[in-house]
Each structure stands twice: as structure tokens, then as C-alpha cells.
Amino acid sequence: MSGTRGARGRVSAGDARAQREANAEAPRIPHLLRRIGRLFAPHKAALALTAILVIVGAGLTVLPPLLTQRAFDDGLFPQGGPNVRLLMELVGLMVAIYIGSAALGVWQTWLTARVGNTVMGAMRVRLFGHLQEMELAFFTKTKTGVIQSRLQNDVGGVAGVLTNTVSSVLGNTVTVVAAFVSMLVLSWQLTLVAVVLMPILVIAQRRVGQVRARIATKTQESLSDMTAITQETLSVSGILLAKSFNRQGAEVARYSRENDNQVRLQVSQQMSGQWFFATVQIFLAIIPAIVYLVSAWLILDSVPITAGTIVAFTTVQARLMWPLLGLMRVALDLQTSSALFARIFQYLDLRPAIVDAPDAREVDPDRLGAIAFDDVVFSYPDSGPDATPTLRGLSFEIEPGQYAAFVGPSGAGKTTVSYLIPRFHAVSGGRVLFAGDDVADLRQESLVANIGIVSQETYLFHATIGDNLRYAKPDATAAEIEQAARAANIHETIASFPDGYDTIVGERGYRLSGGEKQRIAIARVLLKDPAVLILDEATSALDSISERIVQEALDTASRGRTTIAIAHRLSTIVAADVIFVVEAGRIVERGTHDELMALDGVYSGLYRQQVAVAVAPSPAPSASGV
């Protein structure tokens, strides 16, 4: 077999390293606003209808002040006394406008809420799905709590913006423009007085928004840390660890410190810009008084301004205050949420280091079970460029149906072999062949569908035993589940539980013993019925009785399929067809148990050492201990 690798569908060590470095940089997101806009593209019809409703509703809001002018000048104070008929018509028209505007507001709110929350939900699912595609190395170097924070806190943080931005921007913009036009129609002189300081307010708002965006980034980072602390310490494993070392107080103190930081940041974020908005409100509130004063000067200069004009103008100006504040708040929210969007898009822009080649094919069913390593070199992603590779020129062949075992000291690279076969990691050099094809040329889904893995650390969901088993085959019948459980020597145990297969196993299966969890994991793999079975030290954490029971289940599971056992206890693999002894990333010995014992090398030394420990008598208690 050739040690060279084809370019098709493969990731070189340099390319993978460059990709990981690019992923870790958290660069600024280009065209952020354009990308946010694309999120709404599937909802153009609803957005168009929303825009129409907002524009109509905003336009209606500026009509009552103009009717107010008519009511004052033509209805209440015309020459010859009040015109009651005209006044009733104007009041009726104003009431109709208010009712119509309210109805349009309810409709528009429903549309924007539906679109905003749909977009938010789609973004959350898209992010979750993208994370599912990331390589194993991403999750080994990223805290689960940090990932959870991106999905929950960051996406949740932009929900309000997605829901309210369209209606707020459109509605308030139309209202402000319509109000401004109305003010010009009423009196251009008074309009100049009302808007003279607006440019200064816009500049101040931009400065405040930049400050709030920086605070928002720090706030989300703090939330990520708090989520990570919660996930680590309030899991069953974390609680057991804290109680075992009496560190509950220290964990509370650690959480409290981060909580204090979060409180400080939240207060800073809410207070940033408050003086700005207070100044804006004061400015807008005193404008009517200034308008009255300027009106007096204009009247003294013989400018024709009626009482109705002054009342209508101040009414329009008052209606301008809240839309204008709303626009400024939306601008601030957009600047603030841009930090959250950037964090979300940063994850969405991560490119998985392991992807299917464009012409990737299915596993050849006629050659299932054949596995080979051809001069494989592998270094873990976080190892430096000068670090010694974990695997160095590893080559071997396993025939279909063979039971192959990998043994050797800790850190030799045994488990790494089990990760490379299903392509959880990409090799740095050489080839991994599955059913005669390079795994880089196979569809990942097809490859993994033919491989079953039972590891030392069995993971069970907080669900029923039946649900955990169906994870391997969602459409499995009750008879299939029972058959797999019987083959794994666990059916009788499950049947003894009051709820049988409906028994809740608890988080990570903590309500079950180690042997029970392992046998459920074996049953789950049997339900999958893979052509290749990988056993990664599946019995090393069990006591001797549990090990014997589980080993019987493993023997059943391995029949008729290629089995690769990563073994610590050599007594479990003496019957293997071939044993590979791995040391410092290389295969130093290979053969059957008898051949390796006769060789009197590394394997025989390890085996005799374990046998000596197993048969050594327990030390008698000292007299002082009686």
C-alpha cells in the first residue's frame, strides 16, 4: 500500500491547522448588517404586509393634529361662533382614526412577533445543526457551557431586536417624517426651532451606542462563564466532586464572583445612555415653551400664526418625541445587538475540519469489515508544530470478522486508533482504509453507520432505558429491543425494575451501576448491528464480577463482526485473533497471545506483571491496626 495521500476529499495537516487557527481568531464579521438582513429573506411577503400596515398606521397618527387645527380654527373659534356640526364631524373622524390605528397596530404586532420569533428559532436551529457538524477537536477544547451560552443567551439576546426592529424602524421613521412634513406645512419658522439641535443628538447617540456594544460583548462573555460554571458544578459528576473535597463553599464563591461581575455589567449596560435619553427628553419637553415664545415674536413681526396653528404644531411636536426616542433606542439596540450577532455568526462561520468530499461515496457492502492503516501519522489539533506525533507511521491490516486487540502503556496511542477509524479526527499523514477505501473518500454518515463503539465512559441520556436503546434505532420494535438486551445480558435486570424498560436512568445513567450501564451500551450497539465493533477499554472501570458479566455480553456482540478492542486488562483479549502492541505511537509487536508470550518482549512483560498483581495476596493488617 502506498504511503502517499491523494488530494481528493482530504485535509492536510497544514490546512487543518490553518483552519483551526482561523476558527479561533474570532474575526470581525464583514457585511454584518447585510447578513442580518438575509435572515429575513424567506419572509418577504409578511414583511411587505407589515411595512404597509406600519406606513398606513404611522400616516394615520399625524392626521389628528391637523384635524385639531381645523377643530380650533374652524370648529371652536370661527367668526360668528362655534360650528358644532363641523366639530362633531372632525371629532368623529378623529375617533375613527384612533380605532383604525389601534386595529392596524394589533395586526402589525402579530406579524412582527411571528416573523421575528420564526427567524430567531431558525437561527438557533441553524446554529445547533452547524455545531453538530463540527469535528471532535472543537468540543474537546471548548467548554460545553460556552456553547450553551451561544445558543441560549446570545440568540435570546437578539430576539427582541428581531421581533421589534422592523416595525419600530418603519413605524417611527414614517411617523417622524410625516410629523416633520406636517410641522413644515404648519410653520417652517417653528420647525427650524424644533429641529436645530437634532444633529448633535444623533452624534451623541452614536457615541453611546459604541459604548453599549462594548459592554454587551463583556456581558455575554460573563454569561458564558456563568453558564459554564453552572454546567460543570451542578452536574452529577460536579456535585460529587465538590462534596468529595468539601469544595461547595469554594464553588459558591466562584459563582458569586462571576455573578457580581454580571450584575455590574448589567447595571452598566442599562445605565449607559440614560443621561443621553434624559437630555433628549428634557430638550423635547421644553420645545413647546420655546415655541410659544418664538410664536409671540413672530406675531409681533406680523407673521400670520393662528392659535390653532400653535396648538397643532405643539401637538405634532409632542407626537414626534416618542417616535424619535424610539428610533434612537433602536439604533442603540442595533449597535448593542451587533455584538451578539457577531458572536453568533462567528460560530456559524466556523468551518468543520472534517467534511465529505464532493464525490464521496458509500461504503462498499461487499468488503465490509476490512480495516487497514497505511503509514498513518497523527498529531492532535492542540499539539504544537514541534510536538512528537501521537501516531508515527502506523501500519496494519485487519481482515473481516477478525478480533483484533490493541494493547500498550497509557498514552501509547491506542484510543487514537479508535478515533481515526470512524474519522472523528483527520490523519496528518498516511491513509485509513475502511472496506478497501480511504475513509476520506467515504460519506461520513455511511462510514459511521457501519461502526459501533462501546467506550469506557458510557453516556446515557436522562431518559428511559427504552429511549436510550432506541437512540441506535428509533424505529426498533419492542421485540428487537428485548432481543438486543438479552444478547447483552441485561434483559433480566431491566425486567426486575418496577418500570422495566420505562425506568428513568437519571443524568448520565447515575441510577444504574457501572456494569448495568455498560451492558445497556452494548445492547444499544447490538441494536445498531454494525459490521465493525470498537471496544475502547469497555471493562477497565468494572469490578471482577461485573467485568465477567459484561465480557460475556461483549463476546456475544463481537460474533460475526470485525472487532477492535482497546484493552487495558490483557486477560480479556487472550483469545484475540491478532494483538498489536503499541508503544510511543508505533506497533512494536504483533501476533496471537501465544506468539507474543513466546516472543518474551513488551507484551509478555505486561501480561506477567498483571498476572502477578492479580494473584498477589492481600497484605495482612498490622498489629497496630487491629
In the predicted structure, residue 604 carries a pLDDT above the cut 70: yes
408-463 per-position pLDDT tens digit: 888 888 889 999 999 988 898 999 999 999 999 999 999 999 998 888 777 888 88
Q: How confident is the model at residue 164 (pLDDT cuts 50, 70, 90)?
A: low
Alpha-carbon radius of gyration of the chain: 36
Q: Tell me the range of 239-243, 401-405, 519-523 where mean pLDDT is highest.
A: 401-405
Better-scored residue on pLDDT, 547 or 403: 403
Cα torsion 301, 304, 308, 314: sign: negative
Among the residue ranges 190-194, 413-417, 600-604, the one predicted with the least confidence is 190-194
Quick one: average pLDDT of 618-625? 47
Fold match, 23-235+262-348 / 401-413+451-615 = no
Q: Please give the mean pLDDT across all residues of the chain.
A: 78
Q: Range with the lowest mean pLDDT among 283-287, 372-376, 550-554, 622-626? A: 622-626
Bigger pLDDT: 160 vs 315: 315
What is the reported pLDDT for 100? 85
Is the Cβ–Cβ distance between 373 and 417 less than 8 Å?
yes
Lowest mean pLDDT, pick from 342-351, 429-438, 469-478, 535-544: 535-544
Give the sign of the dihedral formed by CA 567, CA 570, CA 576, CA 580: positive
**Domain range list for the chain:** 23-235+262-348, 401-413+451-615
Query: Is the model more confident about 527 or about 15?
Result: 527
What's the confidence (pLDDT) of residue 39? 80
pLDDT band at 536 (very low <50, low <70, confident <90, very high): confident
H or E element at residue 320? helix 307-348
**Distance (Å, rounded) from C-alpha 127 to C-alpha 129?**
5
Cell numbers describing residue 615: 494473584
Of 425-429, 460-464, 473-477, 573-577, which range is least confident?
460-464
pLDDT of residue 319: 67
**Helical ranges in 79-197 per DSSP H:** 84-132, 136-140, 144-149, 155-157, 159-186, 188-195
The DSSP call for residue 75 is I
What Å distances lie between residue 495 and 446, 485, 499, CA to CA? 34, 10, 8
- All 3 cell numbers of residue 16? 487543518
Percent share of the chain, pLDDT over 90: 15
Ranking 141-150, 184-193, 237-246, 369-378 by mean pLDDT, the lowest is: 237-246
Give the architecture (CATH level 2) of 23-235+262-348. Up-down Bundle (1.20)
Q: Which residue has the higher pLDDT, 549 or 449?
A: 449
Per-residue pLDDT tens for 213-257?
A: 677 667 767 777 777 777 677 766 666 667 666 777 888 888 888
- Can you tell me the distance from the alpha carbon of 27 to that of 292, in angstroms, rounded to the nearest whole number? 54
Helix (H, G, I), strand (E, B) or coil at 362: coil
Give the dihedral of Cα atoms 71, 76, 78, 82; nearest 10 deg.
130
Q: What is the pLDDT of residues 40-50, one digit of tens each?
A: 788 888 878 88
Categorise residue 423: left if φ over 0, alpha if ψ from -120 to 50, beta otherwise. Answer: left
- Is it true that domain 401-413+451-615 has CATH number 3.40.50.300? yes
C-alpha cell read off for 101: 390605528
| Cell numbers representing residue 608 in the block | 506477567
pLDDT at 581: 94
pLDDT at residue 224 in the model: 72
